[in-house]
Amino acid sequence: MAATANTARRPRLLLLAFRPVRLSGTHYVRVRPPPTTPASRSAGSLRCCQCHPSDSTDPASKPRPQRSAFGPLRVAFACGGAGGHVYAAIALADELHASLPSSRSLFLGAPAPSLESAAAASAPYPFTPIPRCLPHALLAAALHLRRFRPHVLVATGGAPALPACLAALLIGLPFVIQDQDAGPAAATRLLPPLARRVFLGFNAPVRLLPKRKCAVYGNPVRMSIRQCRVSKADAMARFFPRMGPVGEDGVEVLLVLGGTEGSPEINVAVLNLYYEMLRERRNRYIIWQTGPEGFCEMESLVRSHRRLFLTPFLHEMDVAYAAADVVVSRAGSMSCTEVLVTGKPSILIPLPTIVDDHQTKNAYIMADVMGAKVITEDELDSSKLRSIIDGVFGDEKLMSNMSEKALSASRPNSSTDIIRHICCLVGSSYPT
């Protein structure tokens, strides 16, 4: 009976070890990864099972690979819909395979054409579609997970995440959740009691979720963006080849992003200001992502200009950020995270029609953290947007402060921390 009681208490003790640390004056909670030295373990730092010191001189105390009997670590990812959900999963898969090259991944998402199917194919990672109808999606996800036999499912949000998590419960597969927004999604509020861990991008959702399950590591960012070494001059040559070699001194590059699907409101505002701006500011360039649906209309209305790059979608976001000096964007979780990691001064225009209005929450957190400028959609017009763009470009001290604050608030190692934590949860070794 005593042994049974002790066994029942262990999971609670393990989860309590991962209580989020609350820091005053910031919206990010910095949670340290599992300790790697005896000193750090004795200091009361966060711990998880199977995380042992790797520098012990006692051969018997060294960690043993926990998955050798089961082959390489296998991880399934469920994501869909918005770019933040999809690219968070891609970033985690990239980190997993960079750290553990023998690992295997499988992506579950909506059938093509969908963002997740295209992103997984270009990564490239194996992709399996699941139907959009919930009962059919649940059965299909259970079947695919049975065949793949992953050690863990990672759900990063979107419609496919819910049936995939329910399927994991049916077959006894542990799953974790990674939620990117300042306001947790409905599925994130429903599933945490059943999940092994909930990884959060912001501190704000912790109060709405079981605190013992939460770990705030920030949002994962694609490795291509984190490790981009392209100079501004080389990046500009990709977008403006007709201009010839362009120096970096005095050149101002505006990057306009409307989210994965584009933004008609941002497109109209930029359409009404771009030509006068380029005519008056000879040193200014615009990289403008319209979104697939708005591209044809914008292309028919926009006058061709050597210092304007118009595109439906940017596939090389790392190069776009390398070229940009100021970013005008929606306030999706991944856009905000990429702005922080790249240290770009930003003007954010949140989309108010999203469930729980989480983009507005994201935008005002960014305003507090790095001084980002926020324009609500009700306030948005070409004159106001032009005024703020010129104001940011015209104040070098402001741009420098925004950049420094963004970089200091960023969590560039979020992907590493999350994958290390997942490895600990499933009992797999992680390279130090």
Is 428 a residue whose pLDDT tops 60?
A: yes
Question: Can you say whether residue 356 is alpha, beta or left, with left for phi > 0 and alpha for psi between -120 and 50 degrees?
Answer: left
Q: For residues 348 and 296, what is the distance between their CA atoms, to the nearest angstrom?
A: 24
Q: Does domain 26-51+70-220+412-426 have CATH number 3.40.50.2000?
A: yes
Nearest by Cα to 236 from 322, 313, 312, 345: 322
Nearest by Cα to 92 from 152, 163, 46: 152
Q: Is the dihedral of CA 220, 223, 225, 227 positive or negative?
A: positive
For range 330-340, the mean pLDDT: 94
- Residue 36 banded pLDDT, cuts 50, 70, 90: very low
Whether 26-51+70-220+412-426 shares its CATH topology with 225-409 is answered yes
Least confident piece of the model among 56-70, 320-334, 339-353, 364-378: 56-70
Give the pLDDT of residue 432.
64
Give the pLDDT of residue 98.
93
According to the per-residue pLDDT averaged within each range, which of 38-42, 191-195, 324-328 is highest?
324-328
Nearest by Cα to 27 from 172, 186, 206: 206
Is 197 a residue whose pLDDT tops 60?
A: yes
- Residue 51 banded pLDDT, cuts 50, 70, 90: very low
Answer yes or no: are the C-beta atoms of 204 and 27 closer than 8 Å: yes
User: Which distant-in-sequence residues (6+ apart) come within 8 Å of 293 by Cβ?
Assistant: 261, 262
Tokens of 290: 């319209």
* Domains of the chain by residue range: 26-51+70-220+412-426, 225-409
Q: For residues 221 and 108, what is the distance between their CA atoms, to the nearest angstrom?
A: 20
Q: What is the CATH number of domain 225-409?
A: 3.40.50.2000
For range 408-422, the mean pLDDT: 95
For range 328-335, the mean pLDDT: 94
pTM exceeds 0.75: yes
- Residue 248 banded pLDDT, cuts 50, 70, 90: low
For range 246-258, the mean pLDDT: 86
C-beta neighbour count of 374 within 10 angstroms: 18
- Residue 12 banded pLDDT, cuts 50, 70, 90: very low
- Residue 102 banded pLDDT, cuts 50, 70, 90: very high
CA angle 145/151/157 to nearest 5° reads 65
Percent of the chain at pLDDT > 90 equals 65
Q: Are strands 175-179 and 214-216 parallel, antiparallel or unpaired?
A: unpaired
- Cα torsion for 176, 182, 185, 187, to the nearest 10°? 20
Percent of the chain at pLDDT > 70 equals 82
